[in-house]
Amino acid sequence: MLDRRSLLLGGAALALSGCKVFDNASNSDSTLHRLFASHEALTRTAQRALIGDRLAPEFAEADIRQGQRPNGSVDPDSAAYRQMAGNGFVDYRLTFTGLVETPLSLSLAEIAALPSRTQITRHDCVEGWSCIAKWTGTPLATVLNLAKPTLAARFAAFHCFDAIERSLAGEVLYYESIDLIDAYHPQTILAYGMNGTPLPMENGAPLRLRVERQLGYKMAKYVHTIELVDSFASLGAGRGSYWADRGYEWYAGI
């Protein structure tokens, strides 16, 4: 019925050929059904090749040559943060909010009780330096599976304790966001350990994001809230991150 050429014409030919063709597609033996299946596979393969589940390189212990060089905020001076830090972060809670079916509030102990992942990766700062370090934390996917983003959710936004700028207009707090492809990526973790010790304050204690296929500024330190959103409109100046609001790329892929 359908010759090879009309199959290759794909969507255009199908659109012209009417309902009988689509009825025929419900028969799983049909050529058309196979065509749909292979189109879907092709699209998926192309997307994954570009952005999907590519892993960042991982390294060996011997490649860790120094501590992780601290950059940006190194000791947030918010009163709430300082009080928690003085108390070993026992009062810390990570909040999951926004477009989720099950809002969560997790203590560090609860987070640490979830399955963990350790990875040795290279951190590339846009300023031109790199450091290899070992990060331990909970895959963000694990916690997202508990919070259950709604179908409307498109981005995970990370709200941080540190004010990175102060002006007459008030404090500007650090924030970042990633899409759900990066959020569910196996190397995207909420890290509470670094090089075999609890995450030091200068590197984001008690919890920071690692999103290994992007530049350093995406890796929000001092995270207290993860908010699932459908757009950047309600965040900062509306471009998805503190640095994106200042002209840097929102997607800082490496």
List residues binding Mo ion (CB under 5 A): 125, 216-217
* Sequence-separated (6 or more) residues with CB below 8 Å from residue 127: 71
> Minimum Å distance from CB 71 to Mo ion?
5
The alpha carbon of residue 195 and the mean position of all alpha carbons in its chain are separated, in whole angstroms, by 21
Q: Tell me if 221 contacts ligand MTE by CB under 6 A.
A: yes
Q: Tell me if 69 contacts ligand MTE by CB under 6 A.
A: yes
Give the position of tokens 């008030």.
170
Q: Tell me if 203 contacts ligand MTE by CB under 6 A.
A: yes
Report what 155 binds from ligand MTE, Mo ion, none; CB cut-off 5-8 Å by kind. Answer: none
> Minimum Å distance from CB 228 to ligand MTE?
19
Report what 160 binds from Mo ion, ligand MTE, none; CB cut-off 5-8 Å by kind. Answer: ligand MTE
Residue nearest ligand MTE, Cβ-based? 72
> Minimum Å distance from CB 248 to Mo ion?
10
Q: Can you give the C-alpha Rg of the chain in angstroms? A: 22
**Contact in structure between 80 and 93 (CB atoms under 8 Å):** no
C-beta closer to ligand MTE: residue 220 or 226: 220
Give the position of tokens 């670094």.
194
Report what 144 binds from ligand MTE, Mo ion, none; CB cut-off 5-8 Å by kind. Answer: none
- Give the H/E segment covering residue 242: none
The alpha carbon of residue 226 and the mean position of all alpha carbons in its chain are separated, in whole angstroms, by 10
Phi-psi region of 247 (alpha: psi -120 to 50; beta: other; left: phi over 0): left
| Nearest CA among 54, 65, 75 for reference residue 161 | 75
Stretch that binds ligand MTE, among 22-30, 50-58, 134-142, 156-164 (CB under 6 A): 156-164
> Minimum Å distance from CB 102 to ligand MTE?
26
DSSP for residue 230: S
Q: How far apart are CA 193 and CA 205, in angstroms?
A: 9
Considering only residues 124 to 143 of the shown chain, the ones binding ligand MTE according to CB under 6 A are 125
- Contacts with ligand MTE by CB under 6 A lie at 68-73, 125, 160, 162, 164, 174, 203-204, 216-217, 219-222
